[in-house]
Structure 1
């Protein structure tokens, strides 16, 4: 876990996401509704980003971490008038429902519900996404900040909430709407020029771009600064679960390893050691094979070096490359 090997159709979808527009069905992802008067304060205290500055119609990425700042999941939050909807990884949906519920105390006005079964989520990915919205006559979101969202009708479907952001390091939009309208919305987006992208192609693209996944890059072994999720962390908002550890790592420049991309010369096994010479400097966490060759993600010790570093992954030669989804620059 996770490994991807793609076919020609997947390769065409990845290319569309790079130069045109692809569409991926992300309905398997979890959607958790957080309601009640204290919802923003609650999420502010349970994750890394600043919810108290968000208004209805805005959104952000945030990381749920343990008390020692180990990563649980990277989620996207959409603030509505009456609730916040969290888009979470498929294999973290039940865990986060139980984990969040544990922190709701008697006086808290917070209500959790899992709305995954009643809703769909699609993502448009690629520079051609704006043109799809224009064809549908719903171009008001074009140019708005990441996470901003509005509700539209894509006849016959009503109540289609469209948000800025593809979920990857590529321009795009994410659609959430009632489950009954799945085929009509999907077909409208295909008719507007989007190329269908499978889950396998999504996983390959997220590896190429460096989006971390639970059980691979997001585990009890790593914190958000090692992952490179600076954009999800507020260093000024005050106390939250895991805040002390993250603040200390930032203050004392204590990040000892970084998530990086690796271009490989041959197939490798996930979990293989990454070495420079005879010295082990890290571990491979994800791997994919694409039309452009072999790629992996892995954590490498900060002192070993960064982009351009020549490494061995198992017995395979590799070179460390930049991945656009994460950053390792101190703010």
Structure 2
């Protein structure tokens, strides 16, 4: 079993099956920065959408132009409410007979219910949860290409984000895609449970260092990837969340489209998600103020160890990168900084991905 392989590698696994750490968080983060780390992410959701209308259906449910995707292509897209409030940032892989959605663990079940709610009698669409039938992990870091070459997967190097190909390992299916969900160079592996152990072991033999969810949490905060329950809630819209790159400028109507168009046309975005360097640890949800005591926003995420870093929503009128802020009672202060995962405006053309 794959879990036995992980335990042999030193994995500490929570009661709900999440690999918390391999006891090497600092080393794994260094590998992601200068080498290559492999992250066990099987607690993330995998949904398989099939039927002749699958692309049209998903196109109408999220922000990206999915109708443009051909077999073997992919992109990031955001599911939003009819008022453009954020639900989840997902990756879509278009295949010959299906679309695979890689979604956050917090939204997996809710997204299935949401998608099924909008399937009408005449729609040729089915949504299946394949999370328990598969495993999922990613490699990140500047040496990811070297690992791919050793795995004989060099055909994916330098291909566009979301490009994916199918292989077999020990006779079991494996899909490998460009991108890790972070801004760091990387690749994702969707594998059958039978192939998970051998593929994981092969990646480690190629020089990648294993990473658990605690280190990934720090990495995603540093890079500015928003997640459900923290940055992605019904309190914030998709533009405020800095996910402009996932929004198509050319597609037609989709859930939340009218609100998004109105916000862009009338410059209606009132706050932005920022990175913030902190002088100490802070609880998410803490109110932030300017040095003059003006309420500026709210902290949504914070790293557990020094150097402390967080993500926060700040009112646009208060300022942007370089702004000094006070957190809570002022015993901790911070300064806003840019992070690579967030955008403030639409790119030229249709949606792009990081």
TM-score range normalised by the length of the shorter chain: over 0.9
State whether structure 2 residue 127 is matched by structure 1 residue 104: no
- Is the Cα contact below 8 Å between 2:172 and 2:194 reproduced in 1? no
- Is the Cα contact below 8 Å between 1:138 and 1:152 reproduced in 2? no
Matches within 5 A, 1:1-331: 9-153=24-168, 155-156=169-170, 158-276=172-290, 277-290=292-305, 293-314=307-328, 315=330, 316-331=332-347
Return the TM-score normalized by structure 1. Answer: 0.96
Distance 1:257 1:45 in 2: 26
Distance 1:296 1:279 in 2: 20
Distance 1:330 1:151 in 2: 32
Distance 1:8 1:259 in 2: 31
Aligned residue pair count: 325
Q: Measure how far apart 1:182 and its partner are.
A: 1.6
- Runs of 4+ residues deviating >6 angstroms: 5-8
- Could you tell me which residue of structure 1 aligns to residue 350 of structure 2? none
Q: Measure how far apart 1:157 and its partner are.
A: 5.3
Return the TM-score normalized by structure 2. Answer: 0.90
In structure 2, do the counterparts of structure 1 residues 175 and 157 end up closer, same or farther at CA, with 3 Å as the change threshold?
A: farther
CA offset digits 1:201-256 (Å, max 9, x no partner): 00010011110010000000111110111111112101000000000001111111
Q: Measure how far apart 1:35 and its partner are.
A: 0.2
Distance 2:58 2:173 in 1: 25
